[in-house]
Amino acid sequence: MDYRTILFGRESGIARLTLNRPERLNSFTVQMHEEVRDALTRVRNDPEARVLVLTGAGRGFCAGQDLGDRAVAPGGEGIDLGESIEKYYKPLVLALQDLPMPVIAAVNGVAAGAGANIALACDLVIAARSASFVQAFAKLGLVPDSGGTWFLPRLVGTARALGLALLGEKLTAEQAEQWGLIWRCVEDDQLVPTVEELARRFAAAPTRGLARTKQAIRESWSRTLEQQLDVERDLQRELGRTADYAEGVAAFLEKRSPNFTGR
């Protein structure tokens, strides 16, 4: 696919996906959805990809849906908002959650509406101090979508989730870190080097084990403790047969750094 609204590439095990409509704060159109979906499929099917970094070009991460895109705008000529969720945002969020590798959101500016919740769908969110998160839906008479009503109470609790969703007020990156909404808030000039160091660390890590860790933690919400202990047993049995586990043990015994391959 010839990408026009995103930048995408992979080098040294690090896949990078940049939303690239800076003049519109990287808000989503149907075309961007299709290009992002294609890129995520490529990442999933790339045996050399060990980590994905998602960010935005310019001064914003993502302002959510571009309401000027007539394919999904109210009264537009295309599908309605419910169909837009089903056709575009639901697959996007699930694809990010299901990638068998760590996914880092580098939030470089405003993350509003669906843009905020797409960031929260990633495994680790690193935000510049000048960045902010806004659940803007209430100001349009809508509910938080793209997983917002699921992520928010699990990350910050019901009281804060309701405050963010009902008021639609801006939450600074620093406050988001303090509340546990994101992993880290860093100075603006440290965002790129911080994310780069983390991405390189993941690119050299035992990818399959990290993927199973993501899966086990996310699915634990629907299980009892006894059921989760069984899941941990089964996953350890699987991972104990991998080349990375054998390498990790060998490196420990030989007092050297491991050379993981992600297999």
Report the pLDDT averaged over residues 121-127.
98
Find out whether 103 and 195 touch, Cβ atoms under 8 Å: no
Q: Which residues pair with 110 in a beta bridge?
A: 60, 132
Give me the architecture of the 207-253 domain, per CATH. Answer: Orthogonal Bundle (1.10)
CA distances from 38 to 43, 97, 207 (A): 9, 16, 22
Residue 75 pLDDT greater than 60, yes or no: no
Backbone phi and psi for residue 198, each to the nearest 5 degrees, phi listed first: -65, -40
The yes-or-no verdict on residue 21 having pLDDT over 70 is yes
The one-letter code for the residue type at 250 is A
Q: List CB contacts of 185: < 8 A, sequence separation 6 or more.
A: 126, 127, 128, 129, 131, 173, 174, 176, 177
Percent of the chain with pLDDT over 70: 96
Dihedral, CA of residue 252, residue 204, residue 102 and residue 243, to nearest 10: -60
Residue 215 pLDDT exceeds 90: yes
Say which residues have a Cβ less than 8 Å from residue 45's Cβ, sequence separation at least 6.
none
Average pLDDT over residues 168-184: 98
81 confidence band (pLDDT: 50, 70, 90): confident
Flag whether pLDDT at 77 surpasses 80. Answer: no
Q: Does the pLDDT of residue 222 top 60, yes or no? A: yes
- How would residue 72 be classed by pLDDT, with cut points 50, 70 and 90? low
The architecture in CATH of the region 6-203 reads: Alpha-Beta Complex (3.90)
For the chain, give every residue range classified as CATH 3.90.226.10: 6-203
Give the pLDDT confidence score for residue 1 in this predicted structure.
86
What is the tens place of the pLDDT at every residue in 144-159? 999 999 999 999 999 9
Q: What does the mean pLDDT of the chain come to? A: 96
Question: The pTM is what?
Answer: 0.95
CA-CA-CA-CA dihedral for 184, 189, 190, 195, to nearest 10: 80
User: Would the pLDDT of 180 be above 80?
Assistant: yes
Residue 76 binned pLDDT confidence (cut-offs 50, 70, 90):
low
pLDDT higher than 90, residue 107: yes
Name the pairing type of β-strands 110-112 and 132-134: parallel
Q: Could you tell me where in the chain the CATH 1.10.12 domains are found?
A: 207-253
- Does 71 or 45 have the greater pLDDT score? 45
pLDDT of 178 over the 60 cut? yes
Where residue 69 falls among pLDDT bands split at 50, 70, 90?
confident
Q: Is the pLDDT of residue 207 over 70?
A: yes
